[in-house]
Amino acid sequence: MNDARYHFAPNQSDPPTIVGGEGCWLHTADGRRILDGAGGAVVGNIGWGRAEVADATRAAMVHGAYTVPIWPTEQRLLLRDRLVERWLPEGFTKVFFTSGGSESTDSALRLARNYQLGKGRPGRWKVVGRHPSYHGMTLGTIAVASHLTRQRGFEPLLLPFPKVPWNDPEAMIEVIEGEDPETIAGFIAEPITGAAGACLTASDEYWRAVTDICHRYDILLITDEVMCGFGRTGLTFGFQHFPFEPDVIVGGKGLGGGYVPMGAISARTEVADVLAEAGLMYFTFGGNDAACAASVAVLDIMEREGLVDRAAKMGAVLGDRLHAELDGHPAVVEVRGRGMFYGIELNIPHPEVIAEALSRDLWIYPAGSGPVPSAVMVAPPFVISDDELELLVSTIRSSLDAVVAR
Ligand code: PLP
């Protein structure tokens, strides 16, 4: 197996070559088994090696044909109906498919502008983002987010989108007033900040105030559920933990479960109905039939095995065990999160911790930016067993101990 570097990240250490996976385990070319403590990039909700997802994908490929994304196909309609009937909150009836999180958040930015255009307000083009946040790697999503290391080198940012602190509604009002409310189209937020903030979580009061502010200024409230959505936090969507009423829901990652590139956005019907004629256009591979079929199979598994509830139940155990092992640890600033979505803020550099964990056959995900300089995410597949969960927590603990001891 040729392990030569194939990516464009010259400063990364060489990761192992992966030849397979099963459940919560990754198999390497040199025979190791690595516990996947982060579902890859917080993607693998149903775990690895689910043949029925492959079967559904194959059937769609054998029977299907490529058609432009604005044409309905059987697979697109099946996924749309499944999302509207069983996953999306009431009032969200339209779905736009993409091939991942960045395309979805970028489309939400365009949707916000298009909505304002439809309302006869072409001067409203800015979408307000939060410090810290991550929304993807297109130039639009880099500009609306605040993730310092991932923005570095791309300045000047393509669009001068205003930013507000993650937890301060008064500051949000000041920024909107300072920018001129007649220029603001939307506000985008992760309900629980993922890799940028390692599960920073604002208060109920904050979300109530944010909802009011968005109503008052008539700007769209966009929830980025790319990481938090599809059960990751123990509820279907992350915003459902809070008194929070989004106009637009953005999804990716868990929708395809890591098996296919898949993303989607949905808007309240009354928002979708006023979109200007230009609409959103499409990505050539948005709503790819095989990807839609795979996503339906992923959602089937989630439903049949009650995996959202399992994420809540096992997530409570995960939280208890992480707090018990790590609260007060010399390398740990804070453990926070819910469901299968935990961040560990560190006072030591995360690359060392991640490398140490990997040397002990555990994968955890790098996190942190701005006010959270160093952190890791712990976000295993929802199917993790009690023994695997115990191994996950004890390996994080021993990895941190080893780094501190050096
Ligand atoms: N939004 C959030 C909250 C994310 O965490 C990510 C990826 O980590 C994205 C958007 C971008 O998704 P993708 O990497 O699939 O383009």
CA gap 297, 34 in Å, rounded = 25
Residues with CB under 6 A from ligand 1: 41, 100-102, 105, 134-136, 190, 194-195, 224, 226-227, 252
Give the CATH number of the domain where residue 143 resides.
Answer: 3.40.640.10
Protein residue whose Cα sits closest to atom 10 of ligand 1: 135
Q: How far is the CA of 185 from the centre of ligand 1 (A)?
A: 21
- The sign one gets for the Cα dihedral 245, 251, 253, 257 is positive
Contact 40, 380 (CB under 8 A): no
Do residues 22 and 105 both lie within one domain?
no
Do residues 142 and 67 both lie within one domain?
yes
Please identify, among 304, 335, 352, the residue that sits at the C-terminal boundary of a domain: 304
Phi, psi values for residue 92, rounded to 5°:
-105, 105
Q: Work out which ligand 1 atom sits closest to the CA atom of 105.
A: 10
Q: How far is the CA of 57 from the centre of ligand 1 (A)?
A: 23
Q: How far is the CA of 402 from the centre of ligand 1 (A)?
A: 31
Please identify, among 304, 336, 363, the residue that sits at the C-terminal boundary of a domain: 304
pTM of the model: 0.96
Beta-bridge partner residues of 332:
346
* CA 67 vs CA 10, 64, 375, 387: distances in Å: 38, 9, 43, 46
**DSSP string computed for 4-21:** ---SS-TTSPPPPPEEEE
Do residues 15 and 89 both lie within one domain?
no
Contact 175, 223 (CB under 8 A): no
Q: How far is the CA of 236 from the centre of ligand 1 (A)?
A: 17
For strands 220-224 and 184-189, give the pairing.
parallel
Residue range(s) defining the domain that contains residue 16: 4-49+305-405
Rama region for 368: left / alpha / beta (φ>0; ψ in -120 to 50; rest): left
Contact 223, 238 (CB under 8 A): yes
Contact 121, 106 (CB under 8 A): no
Write the DSSP symbol of residue 155. P
Choose the residue to mutate in 97, 135, 239 for probing ligand 1, maximizing ligand atoms within 8 Å of C-beta.
Answer: 135
pLDDT in tens for each of the 406 residues of the chain?
A: 545 555 665 455 678 999 999 999 999 999 999 999 999 999 999 999 999 999 999 999 999 899 999 999 999 999 999 999 999 999 999 999 999 999 999 999 999 999 999 999 999 999 999 999 999 999 999 999 998 888 888 888 888 899 999 999 999 999 999 999 999 999 999 999 999 999 999 999 999 999 999 999 999 999 999 999 999 999 999 999 999 999 999 999 999 999 999 999 999 999 999 987 777 889 999 999 999 999 999 999 999 999 999 999 999 999 999 999 999 999 999 999 999 999 999 999 999 999 999 999 999 999 999 999 999 999 999 999 999 999 999 999 999 999 999 9
CA gap 406, 400 in Å, rounded = 10
Do residues 321 and 299 both lie within one domain?
no
Q: How far is the CA of 134 from the centre of ligand 1 (A)?
A: 7
Do residues 235 and 358 both lie within one domain?
no
